[in-house]
Chains A and B, each alone.
Chain A
Amino acid sequence: MTTGEKARFWRRSYGVRTGDGGYTLLELLAVLAIVGMVMVSLASILISAQRAYVRIDDYAEIQENARVGLEMIIRDIKGCRAVVSAGTGSLSLTGGDGSSVRYHVSSGTLYRTAKGTSNPVANSVICFTATREGPELLEVTLSAGSGEFDYRLTTRAKRMSE
């Protein structure tokens, strides 16, 4: 091999692209490695974003149910004829039409029972309490969440006088 041939051989085989010979194996490998690293880091960002999305979606659903459930309880209290009993985990009212309305928690779900049917109102309930604060005034606390967060809503509601 002459010196010129040697140089061409080394250039062809390792590293540097010469003339119109296309990419060498080493260039291709380098590009694959770099693109691969970028893709792996992008994928990990994508996965954590996906996890955050799922978690926030769960939070939002639990919070929405708790909020709507508490609104429903307040409306029932405002419109009721009498408060039969109030305590931890349950609330019994006599509705405006004289029928009974009852809220109770069973295995983490808050149910509303009226006219013989029981409907779930909120899920993932940690605690539900109704306390009498006056003859017509009730304090209601509804706390919902998972192990990671505790969404606690407290308010008061007064039965409307006739």
Chain B
Amino acid sequence: MQYACRKLNHSRGLGLLEVLAAVAILSLAAASAFGVFTEATAWNRDASLRTQAIFFASGIIEELKARPDQVRVVPETPVEELGLELERPPGVQALVRMEEFGEGPDLYLVRVTVRWSDDDWRKGEVLAAVIWGSNR
């Protein structure tokens, strides 16, 4: 079997084992490249959670605009503890922080931080708005 393997002999071309090794390596590379498509499912899920989280955050801000009695100085607090009614999408967490804004009377800076991944703390978005309180 010395012809078929081991050593590349230029006058004889490639042996069976070399061809097999080449095909195996090529198929491994091709299979891992196709993995990108299946990975797309995870990206899609992440993107849809992100959108849900952002709509949730903007909903919180809109609700606070409509309910100025709820606008007050609050340290970073989970949204469930604030007495807002907007339903939280599953898998999304939101923290709300309100502080006085500028010199103006009863103006508040509202900062909503949403997260949608337990594994990756960097996956988050912050939405901020300046809202009137109820004593205007």
Contacts and interface: CB of A to CB of B under 8 A. Distances in A.
B59 A155 contact: yes
B63 interface: yes
Contacts of A46: 34
Contacts of A74: 58
Given A31-B16, A67-B51, A156 B86 contact: yes
Q: Mostly helix, strand, loop or mixed at chain B's interface?
A: helix
B37 A52 contact: yes
Given A17-B4, A49-B37, A133-B63, A154 B27 contact: no
B56 interface: yes
B44 A70 contact: no
In the complex, which range does the number of interface residues on chain B fall in?
35 or more
Given A45-B30, A155-B56, A158-B62, A56 B87 contact: no
Interface residues of A, number: 37
B117 interface: no
Q: Mostly helix, strand, loop or mixed at chain A's interface?
A: helix
Nearest to A59: B44
B52 A153 contact: yes
Contacts of B19: 31
Contact of B51 (A63, A134, A137): A63
A68 to B, nearest CB: 11
A137 B56 CA distance: 15
Nearest to A78: B62
Nearest to B65: A158
A42 B33 CA distance: 11
Interface of B: 1, 3-4, 16, 19-20, 23-24, 27, 30-31, 34, 37-38, 40-41, 44, 47-48, 51-52, 55-56, 58-60, 62-63, 65-67, 85-87, 89
